[in-house]
């Protein structure tokens, strides 16, 4: 069996690189997830013995008109599965069922795929055996009585465990990933979708990944955590793995990886005794299998701020349905003071009605607020000519001041896949020279993404829109009508350029267009000083952008960016040295 998964990655190296064109939405949706959850407090929690364990995994499942969460758990004597109904900010426990008894008392991280639930249950005392069980939720009133598929693993200490399990379908196969103790190794299993549906065969091993041996030079950062939960998600030709953990610095993080499974390499033996079975057939002992190559690459990491005692070290999970991504978290115990968290994707600024104005929601002092501001879910970044100030969104406290070596005139900030991109030029020097810089908030690394050399105008802002990078090159004074917007291909070669309409140029005085963000089928752009936004559209024909409207705004021109939490905007008041958040007031 041959499985091919195309790896899409974000590569940032030295001068002159290109960035791969995206062909999917999952990494983008992942980075747009809000860091703050929608919460559901446990109501009327039943009395049962939770001692000796805790909740281990969480998954969302839609049943007819109801929204249901399943919660796996461990205790001193039994592995269990709780089922709860979410409604109106509460999580009401419907049932708590025993999966297996001791020694298989530890039901770990799990995943739901369609109407099937895959979970690993292990002997967490001796740590030398486990069972991976796949249940069919819709088959009967008691889905836990007989699993559809079983993998029995036994032998070496900790290597035979199954602390986290993921399941999904991809290109005609159903795939399982099983992580052992502290997720030191990943074992992959596969079955054809037809055999899975008919229960006419058992899962077969296809690959083992020893995490300590993986090369990490192409990763967004080298960290691999002791993931409590690992979930798979597939989109088109790409397979992803998302892991949930609490780091040694007490950060609650989800990490996203791409997976490429290649050709068969050689026959190998499992690291433990392995028996695979299905409900319609006899158990099969597997002594060897054709190992396939696996490439695992980290695409990004995102921090979250759970509430109601939810914790990724207890339980985290992923839900992906109808192209919508969500992250879930649960607390250690079913307790009336705790509850379920769901982190949703904040959509970018797409409203049915265009705004009549952008109203100030939050503002605070930031010394570096001279050229632009940008934000992710945790921090806001104030940008001056040569520095970036990283501030906490909630408190407004300065966390870090980053000097950008060799910079003369940083102009804007735009987040893409976790990286902060900044337009940079040598303004006011002549001749004009421009480049794009990038900052990784996790590692603290700075990069020059591309150097354009001598340019026709000074680069003032750069964004990504409709699958392409766009950049604004400014001219000033009597020549400001020559300012233009460029659309680039993946190799930073110009595809087209557009001039600005007279309705915008006439309002700029001697200055130019200082900031811009993607909006609807065009852009919202700012001037240099005035508190207003211009909505311009990309024309179907011709090379002049179409003017749509002008909206009042709290920002005094300069660089603006989209706010991933509210779907609004973030900008600056240069004179007051403030970063400012604004939301749209519809007509």
Q: Would 84 be classed as within a structural domain?
A: no
Helix (H) or strand (E) holding 121: strand 116-122
Same domain, 390 and 277: no
For residue 354, the model assigns a pLDDT of: 56
- Provide the residue range defining the domain that includes 197: 102-308
Per residue in 405-426, pLDDT (tens digit) is 999 999 999 998 889 999 999 9
Same domain, 289 and 405: no
Select from 293, 308, 323 the last residue of a domain. Answer: 308
Whole-model pTM? 0.62
For residue 533, the model assigns a pLDDT of: 93
- CA 310 from chain centre, in angstroms, equals 19
- CA 579 from chain centre, in angstroms, equals 25
Cα(31)–Cα(109) distance, rounded to whole angstroms? Answer: 23
- CA 459 from chain centre, in angstroms, equals 29
If one counts the domains in the chain, the total is 2
Q: What phi, psi does 359 have (nearest 5°)?
A: -105, 140
Percent of the chain with pLDDT over 70: 93
Per residue in 376-407, pLDDT (tens digit) is 878 999 999 999 999 998 899 999 999 999 99
Cα(558)–Cα(203) distance, rounded to whole angstroms? Answer: 58
Write out the E strands in 331-445.
339-344, 355-365, 372-375, 379-383, 387-392, 398-403, 409-410, 414-416, 419-425, 433-439
**Alpha-carbon distances, residue 179 vs 114, 159, 163, 297, 501 (angstroms):** 21, 9, 6, 16, 57
Residue 181 near residue 223, CB atoms below 8 Å: no
Which position has the higher pLDDT, 139 or 152? 152
179 has which bridge partners? 164, 186
Residue 88 near residue 97, CB atoms below 8 Å: no
Q: What phi, psi does 213 have (nearest 5°)?
A: -95, 0
Same domain, 283 and 363: no
Same domain, 256 and 396: no
Q: Give residue 139's pLDDT band: very low, low, confident or very high (50, 70, 90).
A: confident
Q: Give residue 23's pLDDT band: very low, low, confident or very high (50, 70, 90).
A: very low
Which range among 103-112, 206-215, 530-539 shows the weakest confidence by mean pLDDT? 530-539
Q: Would 329 be classed as within a structural domain?
A: no
Q: What angle do CA 412, 586, 361 make, to 5 degrees?
A: 55
Among candidates 232, 251, 3, 286, which has minimal Cα distance to 113?
232
Residue 235, pLDDT above cutoff 50? yes
Q: Would 506 be classed as within a structural domain?
A: yes
CATH assignment of the domain containing 503: 2.120.10.30
Helix (H) or strand (E) holding 26: helix 26-31
Cα(281)–Cα(200) distance, rounded to whole angstroms? Answer: 8
Same domain, 387 and 275: no
Percent of the chain with pLDDT over 90: 71
Cα(522)–Cα(538) distance, rounded to whole angstroms? Answer: 5
Among candidates 453, 442, 392, 388, which has minimal Cα distance to 414?
388
Q: Would 507 be classed as within a structural domain?
A: yes
Provide the b/e sequence for 286-296 (b: ≥16 CB within 10 Å): beebebbebbb
- CA 78 from chain centre, in angstroms, equals 34
């Amino acid at each position: 069996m041959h499985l091919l998964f195309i790896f899409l990655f974000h590569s940032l190296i030295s001068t002159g690189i290109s960035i791969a064109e995206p062909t999917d939405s999952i990494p983008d949706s992942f980075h747009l997830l809000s860091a703050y959850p929608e919460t559901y407090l446990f109501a009327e929690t039943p009395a049962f013995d939770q001692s000796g364990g805790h909740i281990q995994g969480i998954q969302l499942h839609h049943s007819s008109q109801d929204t249901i969460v399943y919660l796996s758990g461990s205790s001193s004597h039994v592995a269990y599965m709780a089922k709860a109904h979410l409604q109106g900010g509460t999580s009401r426990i419907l049932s708590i069922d025993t999966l297996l008894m001791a020694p298989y008392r530890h039901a770990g991280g799990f995943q739901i795929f369609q109407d099937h639930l895959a979970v690993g249950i292990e002997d967490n005392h001796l740590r030398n055996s486990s069972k991976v069980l796949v249940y069919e939720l819709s088959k009967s009133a008691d889905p836990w009585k007989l699993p559809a598929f079983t993998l029995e693993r036994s032998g070496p200490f900790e290597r035979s465990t199954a602390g986290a399990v993921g399941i999904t379908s991809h290109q005609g196969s159903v795939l399982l990933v099983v992580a052992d103790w502290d997720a030191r190794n990943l074992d992959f299993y596969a079955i054809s979708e037809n055999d899975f549906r008919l229960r006419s065969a058992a899962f077969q091993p296809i690959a083992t990944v020893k995490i300590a041996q993986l090369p990490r030079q192409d990763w967004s950062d080298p960290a691999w955590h002791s993931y409590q939960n690992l979930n798979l998600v597939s989109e088109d030709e790409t397979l992803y793995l998302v892991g949930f953990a609490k780091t040694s610095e007490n950060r609650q993080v989800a990490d996203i990886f791409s997976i490429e499974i290649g050709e068969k390499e050689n026959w190998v033996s499992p690291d433990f005794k392995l028996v695979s079975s299905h409900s319609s057939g006899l158990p099969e002992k597997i002594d060897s299998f054709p190992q396939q190559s696996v490439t695992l690459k980290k695409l990004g990491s995102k921090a979250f701020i759970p509430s109601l005692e939810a914790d990724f070290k207890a339980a985290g999970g992923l839900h992906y349905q109808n192209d919508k991504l969500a992250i879930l978290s649960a607390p250690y115990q079913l307790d009336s003071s705790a509850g379920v968290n769901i982190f949703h994707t904040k959509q970018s600024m797409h409203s049915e009605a265009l705004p009549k104005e952008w109203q100030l929601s939050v503002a605070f002092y930031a010394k570096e607020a001279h050229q632009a501001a940008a934000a992710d879910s945790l921090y806001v970044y104030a940008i001056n000519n040569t520095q970036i100030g990283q501030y906490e969104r909630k408190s407004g406290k300065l966390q870090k001041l980053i000097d950008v070596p060799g910079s003369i005139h940083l102009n804007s900030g735009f987040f893409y896949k976790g990286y902060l991109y900044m337009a940079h030029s040598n303004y006011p020097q002549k001749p004009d020279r421009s480049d794009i810089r990038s900052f990784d908030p996790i590692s603290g690394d700075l990069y020059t993404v591309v150097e354009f050399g001598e340019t026709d105008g000074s680069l003032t802002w750069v964004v990504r829109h409709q699958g392409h990078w766009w950049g604004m090159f400014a001219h000033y004074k009597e020549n400001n009508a020559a300012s233009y917007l460029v659309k680039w291909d993946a190799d930073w070669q110009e595809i087209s350029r557009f001039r600005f309409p007279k309705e915008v140029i006439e309002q700029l005085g001697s200055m130019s267009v200082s900031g811009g963000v993607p909006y609807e089928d065009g852009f919202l752009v700012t001037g240099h000083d005035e508190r207003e936004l211009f909505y311009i559209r990309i024309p179907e024909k011709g090379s002049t952008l179409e003017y749509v409207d002008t909206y009042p705004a709290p920002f005094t021109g300069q660089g603006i960016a989209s706010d991933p939490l509210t779907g609004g905007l973030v900008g600056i008041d240069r004179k007051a040295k403030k970063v400012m958040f604004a939301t749209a007031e519809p007509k």
